[in-house]
Amino acid sequence: MMNQNVTPPGARSTSHLPAGHPPVKFGKIGVLIVNLGTPDGTDYWSMRRYLKEFLSDRRVIEVNRVLWWFILNVIILSRRPQAKGKDYATIWNTERDEGPLRTITRAQSEKLDAALGPLSDRLVFDWAMRYGNPSIASRIEALQAQGCERLLLVPLYPQYAAATSATVCDAAFDALKTMRWQPVLRVAPHWPDEPAYIEGIANSIRTSLATLDWEPELVLASFHGIPKEYFEKGDPYHCYCYQTTRLVREALGWPEGKLRLTFQSRFGKAEWLQPYTDKTVEALAQSGVKRLAVITPGFVADCLETLEEIAGENAEIFHHSGGEKFHFIPCLNDTPDGIKVLEAVVRRELKGWVEL
């Protein structure tokens, strides 16, 4: 029988501590998955707090700060919270009184724990939101309090962009700056070509389309957009989106044109990455396309941009423009394929710290 007093590999014994030493926990490895965020409620003040935090991020909005302060606080935050609150109300998880992104991200963390936790008692899994609650800082502090001396940060964005992946790192670094005893930090890189991810998206398309009694004439892969200016400054996001789309199309064995890339969710008057999803949906319907499906591979969990914007708003655009059949293919979420993707990323990035 194994000696129960043996210290696990990589952990440390407390036997050397002097008598009367304050209790201290150590030897654990934290895995913190982070998604973009969600308001605490659909009311005006909850929406205002969330939008202010989000739209105050200098990586999200790269304009003159004095001008933007006026636009944000005097114009946007006086009107936009009401409109966005109504949008969120259409997708709100009323049973838990929270946005679906929070529900799904929690489930992803719990299922990762169930899959990998039994393989090492050193692992501690948690989740956070870049904007809103639970904050990255609060969860890093909680993980350290549980004895996590090492931390794997996993931004939940398959394709890197400064306004998503990088800003998660910014928030983590800001939190570490306040800590006397910092955990060692690793950041999982993006995964636009991860085999489990490509196969998961391809499986999702196959499975979802198999439930229909009709076949789409083509499928759009809609990714969240960024301003064209950010791309011109060197943001690689555009290229990663095209890489993922090409690999998924090849995995499906489809010809070019059957799976087309578009960009959604533009904001303001500046030009964003094109082609735009809504304009493409409208143009396809007007050109005679009657059956269309849309998937959103850049999102690992369904949220306002997928459930309300694509499944709701763009479906309406398609039908009003002459289309007949519209189908939204859900994100991988916490499905077995979705957890396989996150598991593959976590397993790879924990190597050298713990072997799973």
Binding residue numbers for Fe(2+): 224, 305
The burial class, CB within 10 Å (0-12 / 13-18 / 19+), for 270 is exposed
Residues 94 and 100: their CA atoms lie apart, in Å, by 10
Question: How is residue 306 written in tokens?
Answer: 């997928």
Residues 67 and 164: their CA atoms lie apart, in Å, by 23
The binding site comprises 224, 305
Question: How is residue 222 written in tokens?
Answer: 């809609």
Say if CB 135 and CB 336 are below 8 A apart. no
Residues 46 and 41: their CA atoms lie apart, in Å, by 5
- Which residues lie closer than 8 Å to 52 by C-beta, 6 or more apart? 72, 73, 77
Say if CB 252 and CB 266 are below 8 A apart. no
Q: 136 φ, ψ to 5°? A: -60, -45
Q: Which residue has the tokens 């969240």?
A: 224
Secondary structure in 3-state letters for 27-80: CEEEEEEEEEEECCCCCHHHHHHHHHHHHCCCCCCCCCHHHHHHHHHHHHHHHH
Question: How is residue 280 written in tokens?
Answer: 């493409």
Q: Could you tell me how far CA 37 lies from the centroid of its own chain? A: 9
CA-to-CA separations, 75 to 10, 237, 266, 335, 341, in angstroms, rounded: 54, 30, 18, 40, 41
Dihedral-angle region of residue 327 (phi above 0 means left; psi in -120 to 50 means alpha; beta otherwise): beta
